[in-house]
């Protein structure tokens, strides 16, 4: 029975990851990015994007905010994650954040704690984290034009 439970959990995880990748890819394309999918996740690259200015970058796709120096530090990776888990009818905000500056910000807040191990994740986005992430929000240009001046 444990094997069936493990298989079901792996299927749900793969399903969630595929749905997140599709949602994020569509959003990035609407924002003017070109999105490429490497054949294998090597050096933490789930995706490679070319931004509207032409710069290429490796992207690690996550289901929530996470930093991990051992796996992603010093590699010039961007972290891409939603504001919340998927829920039917609920709009999500996506963030595309350079890992190393995000890591430094998180370390300044949590590096002194016993649970810190050059790794930290947030189960949800609180007020302080939301303020930090605002500049990294991925929004199509049409939505940005609707902002008040």
Sorted by where each begins, the domain ranges of the chain are: 2-142
- At 2-24, the pLDDT tens digits run 666 666 666 677 788 889 999 99
CA distance 62 to 7: 21
- At 36-81, the pLDDT tens digits run 999 987 888 999 999 999 999 999 999 999 999 999 999 999 999 9
- Token representation of residue 49: 């994007």
- Token representation of residue 100: 């190393």
Looking at residue 5, what is its pLDDT?
65
Helix (H, G, I), strand (E, B) or coil at 96: strand
Which residues are paired to 42 by β-bridges? 45
Task: Tell me the fold of 2-142.
Answer: Trna Endonuclease; Chain: A, domain 1 (3.40.1350)
- Enter the pTM of the model: 0.87
Provide the pairing of β-strand 137-138 with 94-98.
antiparallel
């Amino acid at each position: 029975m444990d094997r069936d439970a493990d298989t079901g959990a792996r299927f749900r995880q793969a399903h969630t990851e595929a749905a997140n990748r599709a949602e994020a890819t569509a959003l990035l394309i609407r924002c003017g990015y070109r999105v490429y999918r490497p054949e294998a996740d090597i050096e933490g690259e789930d995706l490679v994007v070319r931004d509207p200015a032409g710069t290429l970058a490796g992207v690690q796709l996550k289901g929530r905010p996470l930093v991990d120096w051992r796996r992603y530090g010093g590699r010039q990776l961007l972290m891409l994650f939603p504001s919340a888990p998927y829920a039917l009818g609920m709009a999500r905000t996506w963030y595309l954040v350079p890992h190393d500056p995000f890591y430094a910000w998180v370390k300044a807040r949590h590096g002194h704690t016993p649970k810190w191990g050059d790794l930290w994740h947030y189960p949800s986005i609180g007020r302080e984290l939301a303020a930090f992430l605002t500049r990294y929000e991925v929004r199509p240009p049409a939505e940005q034009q609707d902002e008040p001046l």
